[in-house]
Amino acid sequence: MQNANVSARILGHLRAAVDSPLIKNRRFLDDEQLIRSEQLEVLEEIFNANVRDAEIKELTSHFAGLLRRDHPCHLAVWGKTGTGKTLTLTYFLNLLTQLCAAEQIPIRTVHLDLTNPGPCFRALNDLACLLEASKYYRRGISLEEIMQKIEAKLADYHGYLVLFIDEVDNVRHDKENFMAFLIRRLPQRIPAKLILVLVSNHLDWPDRLDARVKSFLKVNEIVFHPYDAVDLQRILRIRVEKALDSRSVIPGVIEKISAIASCEHGDARKAVALLARSAYMAEKGHSPLTLEIVDQAATDLETDRYLTLIQSAPPQLQLAMAAIIEAKRRSKRTIIRSIDAYNAYHELCRRFHTRPLTSRVFGDLIAELDLYSLLRSRIVSRGRYGRTREIILNLPGELVDRIYRVVLDNIQ
């Protein structure tokens, strides 16, 4: 009996959901699920809406020489995350390849994605894999060897080689090495016409390069500005058309999402994520997509971000975070001094039988937490009473509690 009731209820829900589905095609709410042709389709529409028009023009003129068999110089692309650098370039290079194929111009484009930071070794390793020059080594092979493998692989390719390197400045430690290889060494040792497309978040990255390498680097620069609210509206509207039943989207929702996104970061990916989250919530509540839901989704997304961040962080970082929460609870004051935090950290370590780290590293951990904006910290000089780091924890109390619980669970 009970079972029958339950299944009837479930069926009812299902039917209601099917009758008036807000979400027609949920794959268009999540880029990861789209197959390549669909991604290109979305891009096509975005660019047709005159978004990123100026940038595409610049790209075109930069690469125009290619069709005249010239050798364009390298290209530096700058823009914050989510401004569509990767998307635009992928799209553009795709077109370029097609065009060259039609003109019988040999071209090869490689997209090296350094989104997650790693040392020179990993970057070269990835590159070698992409070029099918070697297998993926985890360790134990010298940098020199990988370089040689890459050179050997390209030894008899004479066409254009476009190396599209995403987030170049994510190469840690020995970036010089990597850049020197790409800019000075590689072009001299292979016959291909090499064009580097270097994408970065930081405007000043070429300045941080070694002078000897930098002098070799001839670049054209393109800057991607953050999307403004109007661009975002166009982008979102396309998504809404593809993924949702637009009759169930209350007017003003798109405007609101793009306003939130553009004043926070101008990041299109996040704007789409917010749209997706709102749509899921609305669907769950069997309601149209309203402004209130957008608000709720925005705060939810924020909370999620912090929680997953802390959950996937290395244990010592989690412990440091917990220590700060402890210290804050104990002192009852807004500002926590680094010694207090460090003492609390020691106690936590004792409680969980972990060997505490030196205060030197602890300081770095705090800086890292600050970077993730889980807290605010600043260095304050108290005159003859020395200098300290003042730590302020200004997240909502409920979130702090959840973080604390998550961390303790993880450490057990």
Partner DNA sequence: TGTCCACAGGAAATACGGGGGT
Partner DNA sequence: ACCCCCGTATTTCCTGTGGACA
Selected from 47, 121, 160, 227, the binder of DNA by CB under 7 A is 121
Q: Closest separation between CB of residue 145 and DNA, Å? A: 8
From the list 22-30, 268-276, 288-296, 381-389, the region that binds DNA by CB under 7 A is 381-389
Applying CB under 7 A, the site for DNA has a residue count of 38
Return the residues of window 7-26 that contact DNA according to CB under 7 A: none
Give the contact letters, 273-312, x = binds to DNA (CB under 7 A), - = no.
----------------------------------------
For DNA, the closer of residues 90 and 338 by Cβ is 338
3-state secondary structure of 25: coil
For DNA, the closer of residues 238 and 341 by Cβ is 341
3-state secondary structure of 76: strand
Return the residues of window 349-368 that contact DNA according to CB under 7 A: 355, 357-361, 363, 367
From the list 55-63, 136-144, 157-165, 328-336, the region that binds DNA by CB under 7 A is 136-144
142 contributes a contact to DNA by CB under 7 A: yes
Inter-residue contact 82 to 266 (CB < 8 Å): yes
Inter-residue contact 89 to 77 (CB < 8 Å): yes
Alpha carbon of 60 to those of 63, 67, 91, 95, 238: distances in Å?
5, 11, 12, 10, 25
Measured between alpha carbons, how far is 230 from 134 in angstroms, rounded to an integer? 46
387 contributes a contact to DNA by CB under 7 A: yes
53-67 and 85-102 helices, crossing angle to 10°: 30
Q: Closest separation between CB of residue 123 and DNA, Å? A: 9
Q: Closest separation between CB of residue 142 and DNA, Å? A: 4
338 contributes a contact to DNA by CB under 7 A: yes
- In 3D, which of 388, 406, 230, 191 has the Cα closest to residue 304? 406
Please work out, in degrees rounded to the nearest 5, the angle formed at the alpha carbon of residue 342 by the alpha carbons of 339 and 345: 155
3-state secondary structure of 201: coil
208 contributes a contact to DNA by CB under 7 A: no
From the list 134-142, 189-197, 270-278, 303-311, the region that binds DNA by CB under 7 A is 134-142
For DNA, the closer of residues 255 and 368 by Cβ is 368
Residue 95 phi, psi (nearest 5): -60, -45
Measured between alpha carbons, how far is 320 from 371 in angstroms, rounded to an integer? 14
Selected from 5, 104, 381, 412, the binder of DNA by CB under 7 A is 381
- In 3D, which of 118, 177, 171 has the Cα closest to residue 146? 177
385 contributes a contact to DNA by CB under 7 A: yes
Inter-residue contact 227 to 266 (CB < 8 Å): yes
3-state secondary structure of 167: coil
181 contributes a contact to DNA by CB under 7 A: no
Q: Closest separation between CB of residue 366 and DNA, Å? A: 7
Q: Closest separation between CB of residue 409 and DNA, Å? A: 20
Measured between alpha carbons, how far is 199 from 344 in angstroms, rounded to an integer? 42
Q: Give the count of beta carbons closer than 10 Å to the beta carbon of residue 310.
A: 21
Q: Closest separation between CB of residue 181 and DNA, Å? A: 13
Selected from 105, 141, 250, 411, the binder of DNA by CB under 7 A is 141
Q: Give the count of beta carbons closer than 10 Å to the beta carbon of residue 242.
A: 17
Q: Closest separation between CB of residue 238 and DNA, Å? A: 38
From the list 67-75, 97-105, 115-123, 221-229, the region that binds DNA by CB under 7 A is 115-123
Q: Give the count of beta carbons closer than 10 Å to the beta carbon of residue 146.
A: 22
Residue 97 phi, psi (nearest 5): -60, -45
Q: Closest separation between CB of residue 293 and DNA, Å? A: 39
- The contact set with DNA (CB under 7 A) reads 118-122, 137-144, 172-174, 314, 316, 338-339, 355, 357-361, 363, 367, 379, 381-389
